[in-house]
Structure 1
Amino acid sequence: MAKLNPDAAAYADRLRVRACGICIQNEKLLLVRHGSTVDNSAFWAPPGGGVDYGETLHSCLKRELVEETGLKVEIGKFLFTNEFLRPPLHALELFFEVHVTGGSLFTGADPEMGTGKQLLEEVAWLALPEIQAIPQQDKHRALHYLLSLDDLLGLDHYFVG
């Protein structure tokens, strides 16, 4: 079993459904860097988070983008699904295209995590070469083999492999 950061324990041993956003602007992708979760020092991923009971995917994604990045967004088309399974973490992630409509970029916080236990470390717009330079184990697997940022908008398969 993987080594889990104790601050990530709130997400362990249960299936989480997550809504995630792919936001590309000026040939850069909006990404969030989380602190150590499972066997890694940092983890870059598109913003998003867990769907609350009774919450729609779109409402969740809008809420998560504001919480994590300070940006208000409009939700576009559904793009792809990813299953993350590295016990004790298990998540089904639904990715949507998003477009910024307002707000100001800043590194936000997870309301369910206490002060001093935040996993969010940085929010940034990264160009393709910057994403490619991040070690594989430190980025979401949807980012592993990008040849273009447009690859994220036109994946022709359902599950990221």
Structure 2
Amino acid sequence: MGQQVQRLGAYAVVVRGDRILLTRLAERVTKQELWTLPGGGVDHGEDPRAAVVREIYEETGLRAEVGETAHVFSMHLSDTWRRGRRVDAHSVRIVYDGWVAADAPDPRVVEIDGSTADAAWQPIGAVLDGSLPTVGLVTEALAELRPQQRQRVAAYAYVERDGALLLTRNSALGPHPGVWTLPGGGIDHGESPADTVLRELHEECGLEGELGELLTVDDHHFTGTAPIGRREDFHAIRIVYRASVPADAEPRVVEVDGTTDAVAWVPLTEVATDAARFSSLVRAAITAAGGR
């Protein structure tokens, strides 16, 4: 039996849509193409969460965040080779749910002469069907991955004028980039839904509004990427009020680098003929208002 060697490592599963962030092991580690999760050994005295954030940057050049909980995987190889010698190896791997910003650049290896030769977003399907060669930890971690559950209560304005509806477009930081929806957003702690609508009308449209009656309460459940880049099992509760704005007011986006990148008056006929460009909230609000 070789010398007993135990190693503690910290890693992260970082998923974006149907792809996962992986790193390819350098030739000095293996002569074969082999991909693994970003991460590595925890230094003495280092917090594992800090270690995985450091390792992700060194191996991919990306600034990542990780969740508070993790899964622990253990692998014991009683007769293997490490750095040219035969050892009895025991690896304990802590794997976190991780994420990077939705607008993060392409990954690139920062560390020189390390154990990583490449970094890339790889198709999850290729990992699961075995067409992409990976270490066992990748499929083990994917099997345990669950999106973060999040419920959000938000309030919106239904503003109709001359056969057109005031709508805002989701930016790349929004849950559905390029999709048009009603002006509005999340209710801050302690804030009334009515105040939320008026605040969001100003931030997203540059308009001072006046609220009318409660129009409808709608909900939407889906799994997607949050503005911070984290994969979430998202449940939205959406409160919609009728509202009005000054007749001569022209909308403009006030909030910079937010989840809205455009605002416009969109004819209701356009919504009816091109439903794919508009959120389910828009269609639900039109129906509640008596439209089709």
TM-score by length of 1: 0.73
Bigger Cα displacement from structure 2, 69-78 vs 100-109: 100-109
Q: Does 1:132 align with 2:261?
A: no
- For structure 1, the residue ranges without an aligned partner over 5 or more in a row are 156-161
Matches within 5 A, 1:29-108: 29-36=165-172, 37-38=174-175, 41-87=177-223, 88=232, 89-101=234-246, 104-108=250-254
- State the Cα deviation string for residues 59-101 of structure 1 (Å, max 9, x = none): 1110010000001111100011111111222210000000114
- For structure 2, the residue ranges without an aligned partner over 5 or more in a row are 1-14, 19-99, 104-147, 224-231
- Root-mean-square deviation (Å): 3.0
Match for residue 119 of structure 1?
259
- Give the C-alpha shift of residue 104 in structure 1: 4.5
- Give the C-alpha shift of residue 107 in structure 1: 1.9
In the alignment, the residues of structure 1 paired with residue 284 and residue 182 of structure 2 have an alpha-carbon distance, to the nearest angstrom, of: 15
Bigger Cα displacement from structure 2, 95-104 vs 66-75: 95-104
Q: Is the 8 A contact 1:22 1:152 kept in 2?
A: no
Q: CA, structure 1 residues 145+58, in 2 after alignment: closer, same or farther (shift >3 Å)?
A: closer
In the alignment, the residues of structure 2 paired with residue 130 and residue 99 of structure 1 have an alpha-carbon distance, to the nearest angstrom, of: 21
- State the Cα deviation string for residues 93-118 of structure 1 (Å, max 9, x = none): 000000114864102326xxxx4xx3
Q: How many residues align?
A: 141
- Give the C-alpha shift of residue 132 in structure 1: 2.6
In the alignment, the residues of structure 2 paired with residue 34 and residue 45 of structure 1 have an alpha-carbon distance, to the nearest angstrom, of: 7
Say which SS state the counterpart of residue 255 (structure 2) adopts.
coil
Sequence identity (%):
25
Q: Is the 8 A contact 2:182 2:281 kept in 1?
A: no
Say which SS state the counterpart of residue 94 (structure 1) adopts.
strand
Higher strand share: 2
- Give the C-alpha shift of residue 121 in structure 1: 1.7
Q: Which has the higher contact order (CA 8 A, sep 6+)?
A: 1
